[in-house]
Amino acid sequence: MTGPARGGGEVILQLERISLAFGGVKALTDISFDVREHEIRAIIGPNGAGKSSMLNVINGVYRPQEGTITFRGQVRRDMDSHEVAKNGIARTFQNIALFRGMSVLDNIMTGRNLKMKAGIFEQAIWFGRAKREELANRLKVEEVIDFLEIQHIRKTPVGRLPYGLQKRVELARALAAEPTLLLLDEPMAGMNVEEKQDMCRFILDVNEQYGTTIVLIEHDMGVVMDISDRVVVLDYGKKIGDGTPDEVRADKAVIAAYLGVAH
């Protein structure tokens, strides 16, 4: 179980009364919750509950019609993905969103694009700052590669990798940005038990070693209940439960909506 040190930190992400609609379709209605520093926060709910929309709101892909987001004390309403990334939020996607034409190494290096400041002319002559930055960032990327145990595939084009490894490379790309907050959209979807165990281990290690706060969406209840500190439950775009795994598991509304009612 989770120790008291984890998840006991200050609130770093506060979502207040978020509502998001696409035309007449209400994806999210009046949702508020918070994420504390260093915790693993899970978002669960049936298909179409608005989980991915929630992540898209947090990292600026969607702009909610109502509500405010406070990240590390900064209130924002309109912010594009670029600024969100600059503020230290990284994510992975439900359907693998790797750059298929590039090698594993290049994909992960792309995760560090915000750390590179050299101008285009310096890069064209591969000299001075451009070269220094490239090599310094490569060092960081290699650390991530070591951490996720993907040394053997660093030069492989990602398109050739099996699904489980692609998921891991995507996590590596997000980690390369050294995020404060990491959003994981179904990191274990479609994996077998062994791959899931590996992924769980990586998520816990990231949380522990780097102190990264993690928000994850996951369907595997065993995993969610095991690794998360607190769980938010969504259904039809509304929040129906929030608390520790044990509280959520005991919640009547959650059981009815998601885990199923015994007939």
Partner 1 sequence: MIYREAGQFKTSYEADAAIFPIRQDRIGIAVILVLAYLVMPFVATPYIFTAILTPFLILSLAAIGLNILTGYCGQLSLGTAAFMAIGAFASYNFMLRVPGMPILVAFALSGGISALVGMVFGLPSLRIRGFYLAVTTLAAQFFIVWCLAKIGWFSNYSSSGVITAQEVTILGYEFVSPESRYLLVLVIVSLLALAAKNLVRSNTGRSWMAVRDMDVAAEVIGIRLMPAKLTAFAISSFYCGVAGALYAYLYLGTVEPEAYNLDLSFRILFMIIIGGVGSILGSFLGSAFITLLPVFLSLVVAFLETTVHLPLSKAITSNLELMAFGALIIFFLIVEPHGLARLWQIAKEKLRLWPFPY
Residues making contact with partner 1 (CB under 8 A): 59, 61, 80-82, 84-86, 90-91, 93, 97-102, 106, 109-111, 113-114, 116, 118, 120, 123-126, 130-131, 133-135, 138-139, 142, 173-174, 177
Pairwise CA distance, residues 167 & 88, whole Å: 21
Residues in contact with 2: Cβ distance below 8 Å, sequence separation at least 6, in sequence order: 40, 229
Helix, strand, coil in percent for the chain, rounding step 5: 40, 25, 35
Pairwise CA distance, residues 60 & 82, whole Å: 8
When the beta carbons of 155 and 263 are compared against partner 1, the nearer one is 155
For residue 13, give both structure tokens.
């992400």
| Residue pointed to by tokens 């298929």 | 100
Backbone angles phi, psi at 180, to 5 degrees: -80, -40
DSSP 103: B
Min CB(158)–partner 1 separation in Å: 9
When the beta carbons of 14 and 123 are compared against partner 1, the nearer one is 123
Min CB(34)–partner 1 separation in Å: 22
Min CB(96)–partner 1 separation in Å: 9
Burial of 222: CB neighbours in 10 Å, binned 0-12, 13-18, 19+? exposed
When the beta carbons of 61 and 225 are compared against partner 1, the nearer one is 61
Min CB(260)–partner 1 separation in Å: 34
| Residue pointed to by tokens 């990327």 | 141
When the beta carbons of 26 and 138 are compared against partner 1, the nearer one is 138
Min CB(182)–partner 1 separation in Å: 12
